[in-house]
Amino acid sequence: MSKIKILFGLMKAPFLALTPACVAVGVGTAYWQTHEINWLSIVLITMGAVSAHICVNAFNEYFDFRSGLDSKTQRTPFSGGSGALPSHPEMEKTAFYLSWITFAVTAVIGFYFVWLHGWLLLPLGLFGLFLLVAYTTWVVYHPILCLLAPGLGFGVMMVMGTNFCLTGTYSWTSFVASLMPTFLVSNLLLLNQFPDVEADQSIQRRHLPITIGRKRCSIIYGVFLLLAYTSVVVGVIIKLLPLFCLIALLTSVLAWRVYRGTRQNAENIPVLIPFMGINVVINLISPLLLAIGLFIG
């Protein structure tokens, strides 16, 4: 039982709920396009997406432990790793194997859909596989890439990839719908980096809270929130999204609260932590509301 608990720690299991929420948006765009539900494909897509999420989490746990970062980080409920490997260093190889096993599961499922629908899915899939390995080993040392990569992975790539796997085509609707989770998930990782600035800086990481400071990053956080909600409104206005997608704007009330809290407490991490929690809620509920809007529409 203890080893299972550690394994869940390596997976960062509580955070995996974000994946089906983002996949749901892609399923919604496909349903709005075809009015059909293929449950087997949806299950396979979700398995591949969750495997990808576990893969990047396990790589993150493994490389943070190897670099010594875990010993320098003050963990919060939303940052600083799970603490699984510092408490159980004998599980280091397990984390490594878990990373590559889930990488392989993701790749196999991805190539199945390439075989099913054609090579147009291949560039998206290969870039996604590259990000799984490169995020912790390379991306986190490049500030702009570190900001954009999480959103691209969970937004544009996951939503449009899901839509393609279900329809065999890309669509402007899936692109516009992907923008909300793209900006929100980039914001999620951005805000979660605030407590780790000093520790990350000690191993030469270079994300934006390190390079430009937390205060300026709180402005970027606000801009990305605005872009996330604006993308839904514009999508409805140009008729690429149904009117009911506007229910996703309901979380903007929470988003405004988090933005104000972040601006006022960017340097006060203990006070900032509850706002980080609300930010997680925004990331889970907003894509689900958007998906519901697509199904109703």
Closest-CA residue to 125 (of 161, 150, 99, 100): 161
| Residue given tokens 């990373």 in the structure block | 99
pLDDT digits (tens, 9 = 90+) for 227-251: 999 999 999 999 999 999 999 999 9
Phi then psi dihedrals of residue 204, to 5 deg: 70, 20
Maximum distance among all Cα pairs of the chain, rounded to whole angstroms: 55
The two structure tokens encoding residue 52:
């990808």
pLDDT at 16: 97
pTM value is 0.95
Q: Model confidence at 163, in pLDDT bands (50, 70, 90)? A: very high
User: What is the average pLDDT across 36-65?
Assistant: 96
Question: What's the rounded Cα separation, in Å, for the pair 60 and 56?
Answer: 6
Question: What's the rounded Cα separation, in Å, for the pair 276 and 259?
Answer: 10
Question: What's the rounded Cα separation, in Å, for the pair 36 and 20?
Answer: 19
Contact indicator for 238, 252 with CB cutoff of 8 Å: no
Closest-CA residue to 248 (of 209, 205, 296): 296
